[in-house]
Amino acid sequence: MIRVLIVDDERIARKRLRTLLARESDVEVIGECGDGRAAIDGIRARRPDVVFLDVQMPEVDGFGVLRGLDGLDADAMPLVVFVTAFDQYAIDAFRVNALDYLAKPFDRERFDETLRRVRRQLALARAATPEADGDLHGKLAALLEHVERRERYVQRVLMKDMKRDAPKTDRLVVKSGGRLFFLRADEIDWIEAAGNYVRVHAGASSLLLHESLASLAERLDPTRFARIHRSTVVNLDRVREMQPWFHGDAVVVLRDGTKLDVSRTYRAALEP
């Protein structure tokens, strides 16, 4: 019997995996975890054979779960199948460094392929084949090293931008829907405040970034981006025209036809 633990912060995603696994006579779902910390405890306590592990979770993500298993005996380390909504670049890294991945949304055929790989790997491990065990743990170690290098690089970029005398940032790193977007500043059309977040509009894309509008505006080149309202920053290269409005206010029309309000306070930023 293959003992499976499901880890995903979305209840619907956990339910879908449980439904798919329920059809397998040789699979037993021994539990579900809705966050990374519970997953670490659950893996150590229940010792599943396989973990279907969501990559993007709050506080402790899928990679954090693997780090939290450091020191676990090799014979207690489960097979890990990543469940991810990352883009193709990240999926290529998983393909090289992990047992398998399921890219959301996945169909039954793709899920069956994953189960075949799981069964094959478990058969090798249970036959005490050293190549199987060493290859699996080597791939997990390589994956963690890859992710940690990326995170250190991103942190260096962000820390450099936060320094008062640092040059203005020309790229934003945005997490959205479990994916990392590396967005060039010149791709941005306009930005609007959204509570404790900002919504970045770039072509057909609209991405949420956990940062205040004031903070983000400080990091953008003021010769290219202007604040035109307390809740709006615009890329000046996207502005086609400005139309006067009432009481000193105005409206700017972007090249794609989008109209944005300009308050009297910030109107001077657009005038020669």
Span 141-176, pLDDT tens digits: 656 655 565 555 445 555 555 444 444 567 777 766
Taking the model in full, what pTM does it have?
Answer: 0.53
Task: Tell me whether residue 163 is exposed, middle or buried, using C-beta atoms within 10 angstroms of its C-beta: 0 to 12, 13 to 18, 19 or more.
Answer: exposed
Q: What is the pLDDT of residue 15?
A: 95
- Tokens describing residue 40: 């670490």
* Residue 140: band (very low, low, confident or very high) from pLDDT cuts 50, 70, 90: low
Whether 248 and 267 have beta carbons less than 8 Å apart is answered as: yes
Query: What is the mean predicted confidence (pLDDT) over 44-51?
Result: 93
Closest CA to 53 of 61, 183, 136: 61
Q: What is the pLDDT of residue 25?
A: 94
* Residue 235: band (very low, low, confident or very high) from pLDDT cuts 50, 70, 90: very high
Least confident segment among 43-47, 59-63, 161-165, 198-202: 161-165
Assigned CATH topology for domain 171-270? OB fold (Dihydrolipoamide Acetyltransferase, E2P) (2.40.50)
Amino acid in the structure at residue 73? D
Domain extents in the chain: 2-152, 171-270
- Looking at domain 2-152, its CATH class is alpha beta
Least confident segment among 10-19, 60-69, 173-182: 173-182
Span 96-135, pLDDT tens digits: 456 778 888 889 999 999 999 899 888 877 776 555 555 5
* Residue 212: band (very low, low, confident or very high) from pLDDT cuts 50, 70, 90: confident
Residue 209 has pLDDT above 80, yes or no: yes
Compare 119 and 217 and report the one with higher pLDDT: 119
Query: What is the mean predicted confidence (pLDDT) over 249-267?
Result: 87
Residue 198 has pLDDT above 60, yes or no: yes
Cα 148–151–152 angle (5° rounding)?
85
Cross-strand pairs, 173: 182
